[in-house]
């Protein structure tokens, strides 16, 4: 299912950045907030920022304290949607700063497009990512077992989005044991390497760029 936003003729293609090493969470949030301001006040281009974080947990606006089982890593409260999630090396994070007013001012469709963006990138490696009703994120079904491979969490300030998505390439999946990921107890998490797809982050980056053009360009 594609649900791409209608794009205003004034829209300029997004800039892309890739961080060469893990970025501290508070530093990343400060960077995003400044870019959001520049987009809103000075008409800067949208930005897709690909990065990793050191091991940490973040709590979205719907997070339930009981889902923080063992805070072995720093925990950050954040204004994005969603519940608890883990970030760490081997996970590709895509922070997306987009001017929604030039894309139809439709947040629901934007989130749908973010999901489709990840589904398209995974397809490049013959991995079928799927949505599930009532379960945020992208899911993989193998041998009748479902597990989450990608997450979505978005915040909007004056119609400019930030935060974004994460896809598990080869993180330490045991680090998820400290939380109930996204408040969902009945399903686990997986990664591309766990599925036998042994690729570097750079290969996923290439697939994300290709899929972005198909969904957002």
Distance CA 173, CA 140 (A): 15
First CA to last CA distance, the chain:
17
pLDDT tens-digit map of 202-215:
999 999 999 999 99
Active site residue 112: no
Domain count across the chain: 1
* Domain containing residue 78: 15-215
Q: Identify whether 4 is part of a domain.
A: no
Residue 149: pLDDT band with limits 50, 70, 90: very high
Set 96, 179, 182, 215: catalytic member: 182
Are β-strands 56-59 and 47-51 bridged in parallel, bridged antiparallel, or unpaired? unpaired
Question: Could you tell me the maximum CA-CA distance found in the chain, to the nearest angstrom?
Answer: 51
pLDDT tens-digit map of 160-203:
999 999 999 999 999 999 998 776 677 889 999 999 999 999 99
Q: What is the CATH number of the domain that holds 92?
A: 3.30.930.10
Percent of the chain with pLDDT over 90: 76
At 183, phi and psi to the nearest 5? 75, 15
pTM (2 d.p.): 0.92
Cβ atoms of residues 80 and 157 within 8 Å: no
Determine the angle formed by the axes of helices 107-123 and 201-215, rounding to 10 degrees: 130
Which of 47, 4, 60 is CA-nearest to residue 160?
47
Q: Identify whether 10 is part of a domain.
A: no
Distance CA 6, CA 105 (A): 9
Q: Identify whether 178 is part of a domain.
A: yes
């Amino acid at each position: 299912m594609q649900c791409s936003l209608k794009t205003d003729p004034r829209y300029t293609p997004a800039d892309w950045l890739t961080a060469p090493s893990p970025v501290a969470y508070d530093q990343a949030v400060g960077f995003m907030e400044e870019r959001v301001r520049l987009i809103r006040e000075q008409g800067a281009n949208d930005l897709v920022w690909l990065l990793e974080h050191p091991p940490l947990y973040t709590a979205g606006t719907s997070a339930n304290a009981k889902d923080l089982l063992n805070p072995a890593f720093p925990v950050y409260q954040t204004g994005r949607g969603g519940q608890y999630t883990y970030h760490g090396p081997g996970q590709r994070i895509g922070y997306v700063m987009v001017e929604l007013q030039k894309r139809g001012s439709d947040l629901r469709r934007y989130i749908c497009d973010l999901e489709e963006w990840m589904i398209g990138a995974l397809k490049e490696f013959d991995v079928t990512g799927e949505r599930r009703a009532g379960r945020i994120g992208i899911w993989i079904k193998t041998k009748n077992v479902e597990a989450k491979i990608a997450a979505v969490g978005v915040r909007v300030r004056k119609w400019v989005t930030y935060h974004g998505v994460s896809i598990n390439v080869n993180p330490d999946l045991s680090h998820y044991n400290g939380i109930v990921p996204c408040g969902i107890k009945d399903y686990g998490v997986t990664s591309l390497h766990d599925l036998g797809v042994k690729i570097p982050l750079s290969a996923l980056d290439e697939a994300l760029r290709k899929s972005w053009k198909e969904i957002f360009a």
